[in-house]
């Protein structure tokens, strides 16, 4: 919070074919009353990151096949009537929530091949998809736009091949809703770096307004919490951050944080 981030979507790091669920919380250090959504998404990963770290699936095609099998099982689980309904199954139940669009699926996919695979899965099973990472999204921009899928774009600090410093600009020009994520290593999620990341995007063609939106209102829209946070408006949470300079300048500092209308941090003179 002292670094100017008042709300985060957090959970398991990518790397497993299905690594679990994410949640949205306020960052004042207390969970009491600050969990905005305890199940904001279910997280999946596609590509070499999965096959490189885990014995299963081992290959891209097998990963897709395993996900399709899991979704078909959840689909069958949903189709059961009350009379012949199978015993409660935690895996099938959460995937059923994805299939019924109660919970979106965040799929980490960085190569064009994996991005297209994620789009095909969403089309086949009719779930709400949020692309994560999407390093090569600039190669399949038309397909992403046609699918009307939002993107949580990787940080430029991430060690990802074939990334482009102009992807933010390209997404904005094509009216694709996107946000910038802060965690660039699975073991050190540095949320505060979103300001630096937005500054990098602004330095490479993205307007200041769109760069600011990518870490505020656009992120809130993707997470479906834009009626509560993301902008300063009547009826929303009063989350306000003041800086002693340009927020995208790395030498600037957060000097005041107001969260839910209460002063939480202040070094301003």
pLDDT along the chain (269 residues), means of 10: 87 82 87 84 88 68 91 90 71 94 95 96 97 96 97 87 92 97 68 87 95 96 96 93 91 91 84
What pLDDT shows up at residue 226? Answer: 95
The residue whose two tokens read 């070499």 is 48
Tokens of 83: 């009379």
Sign of CA dihedral 171, 173, 177, 183: positive
CB distance 39 to 25 below 8 Å: no
Strand 178-180 relative to strand 240-243, pairing: unpaired
- Map out the domains of the chain as residue ranges: 7-234
Could you report how far apart the first and last alpha carbons of the chain are, in Å?
Answer: 19
What does the DSSP assignment read for 55-113? SSS-SHHHHHHHHHHHHHHHHHHHH--TTTPPPP-HHHHHHHHHHTTSS-EEEEE-SHH
Residue owning tokens 């995208």: 248
pTM of the full structure: 0.91
Q: What is the per-residue pLDDT for 156?
A: 85
pLDDT of residue 186: 61
- Sorted by sequence, the CB contacts under 8 Å of residue 113 that are 6+ apart come out as 47, 60
> How high is the pLDDT of residue 53?
59
pLDDT attached to residue 187: 57
7-234 CATH: 3.20.20.140
CB 142 within 8 A of CB 116: no
* Contact (Cβ atoms closer than 8 angstroms) between residue 74 and residue 96: yes
């Amino acid at each position: 919070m002292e670094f100017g981030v008042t709300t985060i979507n957090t959970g398991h790091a990518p790397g497993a074919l299905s690594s679990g669920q994410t949640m949205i919380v306020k960052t004042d250090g207390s969970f009491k009353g600050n969990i905005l959504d305890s199940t904001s998404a279910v997280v999946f990963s596609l590509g070499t990151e999965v096959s490189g770290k885990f014995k299963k699936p081992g290959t891209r095609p097998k990963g897709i096949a395993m996900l399709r099998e899991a979704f078909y099982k959840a689909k069958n689980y949903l189709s059961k009537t009350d009379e012949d309904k199978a015993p409660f199954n935690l895996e099938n139940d959460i995937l059923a929530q994805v299939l019924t669009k109660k919970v979106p699926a965040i799929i980490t996919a960085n190569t064009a091949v994996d991005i297209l695979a994620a789009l095909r899965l969403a089309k086949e099973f009719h779930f709400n998809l949020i692309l994560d990472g999407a390093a090569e999204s600039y190669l399949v921009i038309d397909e992403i736009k046609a699918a009307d899928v939002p993107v949580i774009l990787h940080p430029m600090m991430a060690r990802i091949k074939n990334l482009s410093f102009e992807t933010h600009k390209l997404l904005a020009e094509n009216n694709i809703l996107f946000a910038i994520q802060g965690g660039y290593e699975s073991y050190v999620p540095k949320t505060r770096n979103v300001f630096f990341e937005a500054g990098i995007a602004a330095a490479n063609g993205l307007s200041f307004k769109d760069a600011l939106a990518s870490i505020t209102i656009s992120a809130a829209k993707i997470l479906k919490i834009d009626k509560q946070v993301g902008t300063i408006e009547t009826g929303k949470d009063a989350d306000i951050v003041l800086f002693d300079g340009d927020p995208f300048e790395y030498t600037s500092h957060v000097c005041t944080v107001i969260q839910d209308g209460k002063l939480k941090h202040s070094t301003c003179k």
